[in-house]
Amino acid sequence: MAFATRSDLLARSNARRLFQLAVPADVQMPPDDALRVAITGGDLTALSGEDRASVELALAAIDQALADAEQLILSYRIPVTASSPLISRLCATVAMFYLQGDERMVDEVNKAYEAAVATLKSHVRGEINLLPESIAEAALPEDQVIFISSPRRYGGLAPDGGW
């Protein structure tokens, strides 16, 4: 199970930008909507062979960036079964950083990547918990007990401190 998908990346960016980052510079750029159609599983038979090849190269670059981002997140002790909108956003942010590459790096992408890595480091240090509740509870040692109680029924202490 992937932390983020091609569709997640498209939702956080746009097709033209993804194409510009993912299609190699020595390959002709296909029509803007072609990547959106490819990501949503649409029919690409109307495209020329050269355009289909460009789309396939772009999808391969996107898949590689997502896979690399997933490996980075796994290295911060996030289990592969974890799934949440925040983890998906972190994965998409890291993937965009990888797609951007050194020669085309812009400050906003670099800052977003650094913030994502800082969040992951905070998780490892125990300052925050990125795991969905069910996974966090499953990771508890067997000898630990969790008490869950409903709120007080009658409102707590009186103003003078007594009951």
> Is 38 part of a structural domain of the chain?
yes
pLDDT confidence band for 155 (50 / 70 / 90):
low
Q: Rounded to the nearest 10 degrees, what angle do helices 32-39 and 15-22 cross at?
A: 100
Q: In which domain, by residue range, is 126 found?
A: 6-138
For 10-43, the pLDDT digits (tens) are 888 888 888 888 888 888 888 878 888 888 888 8
State pTM to two decimals.
0.75
What separation, in Å, do the N-terminal and C-terminal C-alpha atoms of the chain show?
52
* Average of per-residue pLDDT values in the chain: 82
User: Which pLDDT belongs to residue 130?
Assistant: 87
User: Which pLDDT belongs to residue 143?
Assistant: 59
Q: How far apart are CA 137 and CA 104, in angstroms?
A: 42
> Is 112 part of a structural domain of the chain?
yes
> Is 40 part of a structural domain of the chain?
yes
> Is 146 part of a structural domain of the chain?
no
State yes or no: pLDDT of 149 exceeds 70: no
Q: Rounded mean pLDDT of 112-124?
A: 92
Question: Which residues, 6 or more positions from 54, have their beta carbon under 8 angstroms from its beta carbon?
Answer: 23, 27, 28, 29, 30, 34
User: Which pLDDT belongs to residue 52?
Assistant: 87
> Is 163 part of a structural domain of the chain?
no
> Is 149 part of a structural domain of the chain?
no
Q: Rounded mean pLDDT of 99-122?
A: 86
pLDDT confidence band for 96 (50 / 70 / 90):
very high
User: Which pLDDT belongs to residue 152?
Assistant: 56
Tally the domains of the chain: 1
pLDDT confidence band for 101 (50 / 70 / 90):
confident
Pick from 92, 111, 112, 93: nearest CA to 39:
92
> Is 148 part of a structural domain of the chain?
no
Distances (CA, A) of 31 to 7, 9, 41: 18, 19, 16
Alpha helices by DSSP H, listed for the chain, are 6-11, 15-22, 32-39, 49-74, 85-100, 107-125, 133-138
pLDDT confidence band for 142 (50 / 70 / 90):
low
For 43-76, the pLDDT digits (tens) are 888 888 888 888 889 889 999 999 999 999 999 9
> Is 125 part of a structural domain of the chain?
yes
The neighbour count for residue 135, using CB atoms within 10 Å, is 16
Q: Rounded mean pLDDT of 92-108?
A: 85
- Residue 34 sits at the vertex; the CA angle it makes with 30 and 37, to the nearest 5 degrees, is 170
